[in-house]
Chains A and B, each alone.
Chain A
Amino acid sequence: MTSGARMNTTIKSGAGVSRYLRLYRVLSQALAEGRFGAGEPLPSEPRLMRDYGVSRSTVRRALAGLEAEGRIDRERGRGTFVRAQQQRAVASRDWSAILDGTTDTAVAASSRTTAFERVPTPAFLPRGERGFGSTTLLIRRIRSVAREPVALETAYLPEEIAAGLTRRQVSADGVPILTLLTGLGHRSAGVEREFAALEADPLAARNLELAVGVPVFNVRTVAHDARHRILAYIDCLYRSDRYEARAAIEIADPKPRRATAKRN
């Protein structure tokens, strides 16, 4: 929609997903986050055809989907406009604060546990005294806000840390794993988060109520205690329309200097 990059290359078609659906998703995301104000026009049909290299019928199919959802109004001879109530939806769509327990609100997070058991430690987890032993507690939960799924979370906990943690505690409500561990006396001293954008795999797609291949936001978290013991490794897939991560960074020394490489 922005006309920024004018490159000579054409857009790759991408395997498996229809053109109309790809256009629908792009427009859907733009509407969800209020890139167009209420009552503002969307790009015209010819403009969308040109920008996305698709036919008029493809553009119309994508717009028809949004219209059926009551998110836009198409007015003959005038154009396509954002519905006013779209604005309200914007405010409620980012549920990160509720999910992370950083805000008090009437809307509560909930979770459903689909796995809670000891498994042989997967190869990608670090082993050793400060890491994982031969077996690991695997917890998989679907975390929701207002009954709508937001995250598919897979947590791996060293046996030592997991001792005393019950399936009931994990399932009781939408409390984050690290908060539960703090309750058990395992306070995190350092939390490393790694961000990525991935396509929803079939399991994530089903649990998050998305189509396979839709972008999902991946956060991999490793928490250590003050003695540098690993408390948890959490791999979380979030619906990108319902969750974003926030970070505040203080820069003590604004002059450039080389950072030391860190072990993973």
Chain B
Amino acid sequence: MASTPRSRRLRPSSTRNTELTSRRVDEGVTRYYRLYELLSAALQDGTIAPESALPSEPELSTRHGMSRTTVRRALDRLERERRIVRRRGSGTYARQRRTVPRFCVELHALPGILAALESRSTTTTLRFDPAPVPQNLRPMAAAIGPTAYVLERLRFTDSQPLSLTTAYLPETVASRLRRPIPRRASVMTILGRLGCPTTAIRCIVGAVPADAAAARALDVPLGSPLLRVRAVLTGDAGEPWVVLESLCRSDRLQLKVLERG
């Protein structure tokens, strides 16, 4: 069992909070909350591994110099959040927290890696028509211009949504694309078949809260974390084939990249 490292001992914090509703934490943090915070971080980063035992109540109480009642309060909260299980007569154990995503897209292994994703999932086309390119994508591919053909698709597997991709294709490319839009092929694969092979991708990856459309499509609560990939796919001469934004459920789709030094 991994013991709680010394670093997690309680320390006064001097953080200020800026977000509207967050509580002030300077002096106001109760002892129970600090212990809760430490254990919570240890569970999150795996210092206390899934299925492994937490230190016992007397141990926590001694180590952090707090009463059994305070220790219990912190554990109660973690139990309510379903992050630990208490087994009578045995102890307290960490629950498996992160679900292992079903798909792993290794960006450095494109396009080969897409074959696995394409064979095990399908898409629904939500729209394919001319539309303005959103402000936040324009600087990524200025050559596409302010209007393009938008291809919006929802990808899912076993009726579970994985990702919502909005691709903006220049008219020269979009005019080669015929309906019906292939159900399995990714945008990159479709482009290849249209005679627009991708030789380079620039992408920006981050996290965003789900907005109304994404929350509905991906079946998650409003504001919950989604992985966002914005990418430009270019051809041999550096011409942009497409600029796209993909919102992915991080619990179902994993994204990796390997860089060689």
Contact = CB atoms under 8 A, between A and B. Distances in A.
Nearest to B44: A201
**Which range contains the number of A residues in contact with the other chain?**
35 or more
A171 interface: no
Given A247-B107, A249-B257, A217 B206 contact: yes
Contacts of B224: 14, 199, 215
A190 to B, nearest CB: 5
A256 B13 contact: no
Nearest to A225: B261
Interface stretch (B54-62, B65-73, B170-178, B195-203): B195-203
B209 to A, nearest CB: 5
B142 interface: no
Contacts of B40: 201-203
A259 B46 CA distance: 29
Contacts of A120: 2-3
A84 interface: no
B90 interface: no
Contact of A123 (B2, B8, B11, B107): B2
B209 A4 contact: no
Interface in B104-139: 106-116, 126-127, 134-136
B112 A215 contact: no
Contacts of A247: 107, 201-203, 205, 257, 259
Contact of B135 (A35, A196, A203): A35
Interface string B218-253: 011111111110000000000000000000001000
A183 B228 CA distance: 34
A203 B33 CA distance: 10
A145 to B, nearest CB: 15
A245 interface: yes
Nearest to B7: A115
Contact of A192 (B47, B152, B256): B256
A193 B107 CA distance: 10
Interface of A: 1-7, 9-15, 17-19, 21-26, 29-30, 33-37, 51-53, 65, 114-117, 119-120, 122-124, 138, 140, 154, 187-199, 201-207, 209-212, 214-218, 235, 238, 240, 243-251, 254-259, 262
Q: 4 smallest A-B Cβ distances: which pairs?
A: A14-B221, A115-B7, A215-B225, A5-B217
30 contacts: A4-B126, A5-B164, A7-B216, A11-B212, A11-B222, A22-B209, A26-B211, A26-B212, A35-B134, A35-B136, A37-B135, A115-B5, A117-B5, A117-B6, A122-B47, A123-B46, A124-B46, A190-B260, A192-B257, A192-B259, A193-B257, A202-B37, A203-B41, A204-B44, A247-B203, A249-B203, A255-B111, A256-B115, A258-B115, A262-B106
